[in-house]
Amino acid sequence: MGYLLFVTALWAFSFSLIGEYLSGQVDSDFAVLTRVLLGGLVFLPLMRLAALRPGLVVGMLAVGALQFGVTYLCLYRAFAYLTVPEVLLFTITTPLYVTLLDDALHRRFAPVALVAAGLAVVGAGIIRYEGLSQGFWFGFLLLQLANLAFAAGQVGYKHLLRRYPTGQPAYQSFFLFFVGALLVTLPAWLVFGDRAMMPVTPVQWAVLGWLGVAASGLGLYLWNRGACLVDAGTLAVMNNALVPAGLVVNLLIWNRDADLLRLTVGGVVIALSLWVNARYSRYAQVPLFAQR
């Protein structure tokens, strides 16, 4: 739990920094690629791969591609359609995906989670009731894909290390996580990147440096280590601790003119979706396969 709390505090400023200094100013694919490269450099000197089983190597590449590559490519694109508070609030559905994926790995299914997801969509509509547009919903769907990929990475990493115990510190193989992310982000930048939107100011480079080394390198490793030390329920809840922390930072420092009433009402509806899932899903699980 301590790891997760520390990273929550570390990430509280990340959304606002992206929204204020990078979104619309620096190419999103280049920003994600930079974070991957800097995060990978943190773990390159610690790499010890000789004793790793092939299944663990492939699994780490897949987890990195999902939890960092797909997640952040979608996240950065969402800032083009949503405000920072909206981005933060719409990440609140991540615990639903954590629960669904963990249940799937244990061959269970909780139908209530689908009802909860529907409530979350209603909450999103309340927040932008007067300004609903195709772009808004596209941003919302991008974030749901990011949330799903982030949840899959967390649950996958936890189960991966349980299946392939190495007997060595986890940081000695974590470089593979960033290699997996690079396999997604490098082609994305080569194909979709806008070379005319490179960072030009010291502030932009400084923000990219902090996001790459601290938020991505240190943060993602400690978050995944913390995920391995708690149960799926605790992990699901901790995924949302970032929302109030990030909102406080953004609303107090950068976005004081936000519609607090609408954000609050919509946020309450989205939070209600989580309560419904937590309260009833354990009593409505259906086995996907007969137990042998």
Q: Which residues contact 135 (CB under 8 A, 6 or more apart)?
A: 81
The domain total for the chain is 1
pLDDT score at 114: 61
Q: How far, in Å, CA of 262 to CA of 264, rounded?
A: 5
Summarize pLDDT for 49-86 with one digit per residue, the tens.
777 888 889 999 999 999 999 999 999 899 888 888 78
- Compare 19 and 177 and report the one with higher pLDDT: 177
Q: Which residues contact 87 (CB under 8 A, 6 or more apart)?
A: 15, 19, 75, 78, 79, 143
Residue span of the structural domain in which 69 resides? 2-287
DSSP-derived pairing of the beta strands 286-287 and 108-109: antiparallel
Cα-to-chain-centroid distance, residue 186: 19
Question: Per the structure block, which two tokens stand in for 156?
Answer: 């996958």
Q: How far, in Å, CA of 32 to CA of 248, rounded?
A: 25
The three-class DSSP label of residue 287 is: strand
Summarize pLDDT for 23-56 with one digit per residue, the tens.
889 999 999 999 999 999 999 999 887 778 888 8
**Confidence at 292, pLDDT banded by 50, 70, 90:** very low
Query: Would you say residue 28 lies in a domain?
Result: yes
Query: Would you say residue 45 lies in a domain?
Result: yes
Query: Would you say residue 227 lies in a domain?
Result: yes
Query: Would you say residue 292 lies in a domain?
Result: no
Query: Would you say residue 277 lies in a domain?
Result: yes
Summarize the confidence of residues 118-124 as an average pLDDT.
66
pTM over cut 0.85: no
Query: Would you say residue 200 lies in a domain?
Result: yes
Query: Would you say residue 53 lies in a domain?
Result: yes
